[in-house]
Amino acid sequence: MINTRAASDVRHARTGKDGAFYDEDGRLLATVETFQAKSSWNNAKYTVLGNAQELETANTFAISLTMTQIVIEDDKFISDLFEAMEHQKMPVWNFQGTLLGRNGSEERVTYREVIPSGDIDLQNIGSDVIKRNWSFFVNRPPKLQSKLSIG
């Protein structure tokens, strides 16, 4: 077996129940069913005289966040959004995403200057558990505060 680590470390696999989404002060932000942070990379293409191969170089990147909130009660989060729409002053948030390891280690990433982007559910009522989908854009590079470990 070439990859012996994968078989021996399977006990450290994490599930969504080990994650949480906090505000910048470390308070649980919302009862979140899903949370996803994505980076999108855009490269610039170029060619060099005498070389028929097209090349790429790093150009820009963007970070987006999406989450699905379980609606239990109205919270500060949705209140901020409605107040922003009423006063036409868009909110700017700072968030932390965390994932807890079995050994007490924690992956924690801070997202700063986060603004609403794309579609956000104001009300999404159905016969199942009521959820609110959120979409955000992150205007500052995320910062890895701590990493998971298995040691």
Tell me: the pLDDT tens digits for 114-132?
999 999 999 888 888 888 9
Which tens digits make up the pLDDT trace of 50-60?
999 999 999 99
How confident is the model over 3-24, as pLDDT tens digits? 556 555 666 676 667 788 888 8
User: Any residues with CB less than 8 A from the CB of 140 and at least 6 apart, and which?
Assistant: 111, 112, 113
Is the distance from CB of 121 to CB of 135 less than 8 angstroms? no
- Averaged pLDDT score across all residues of the chain: 87
Check residues 113 and 125 and name the one with the higher pLDDT: 113
Q: How confident is the model at residue 88 (pLDDT cuts 50, 70, 90)?
A: very high
pLDDT on residue 150: 76
C-beta separation of 30 from 21 below 8 A: yes
* More confident position, 103 or 54: 54
pLDDT for position 73: 73
Of all helices (H) and strands (E), which one includes residue 10? none
Helices (H), 4-150: 4-8, 76-87
Q: What is the H or E stretch that residue 106 is in? A: strand 106-116
What's residue 4's pLDDT?
59
pTM of the model: 0.81
